[in-house]
């Protein structure tokens, strides 16, 4: 009889512990992620290989022109995922 009095609470506590483990795991899924963005008010400075400062507006405009060029467009249109897009397939002229 004494043996049953000891074994039953131990079994009960063991089962209780097994039931609490999954609850503890679900608690970690409820955490929240946060992020922050810092915006700098100054224009960045770029230096050429000869350490002379480059005009930022000219730098940006040059890169915009490169992105709009047919060379970049052709490379993008060669990508299988892009080539399968309905809007690309409908165009008579791929570059239109």
Kindly list the averaged pLDDT for each block of 10 residues, start to end, along the chain of length 96: 69 74 59 72 71 78 87 88 87 72
pTM, two decimals, is 0.36
| SS3 of 25-68 | HHHHCCCCCCCCCCCCCCCCCEECCCCCEECHHHHHHHHHHHHH
CB-CB contact of 37 with 50 (8 Å) = no
pLDDT confidence of residue 31: 61
């Amino acid at each position: 009889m004494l043996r049953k009095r000891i074994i039953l609470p131990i079994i009960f506590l063991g089962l209780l512990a097994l039931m609490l483990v999954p609850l503890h795991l679900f608690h970690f899924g409820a955490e929240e992620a946060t992020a922050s963005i810092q915006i700098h008010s100054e224009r960045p400075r770029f230096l050429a290989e000869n350490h002379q400062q480059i005009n930022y507006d000219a730098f940006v405009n040059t890169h915009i022109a490169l992105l709009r060029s047919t060379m970049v467009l052709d490379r993008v249109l060669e990508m299988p995922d892009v080539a399968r897009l309905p809007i690309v397939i409908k165009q008579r002229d791929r570059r239109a």
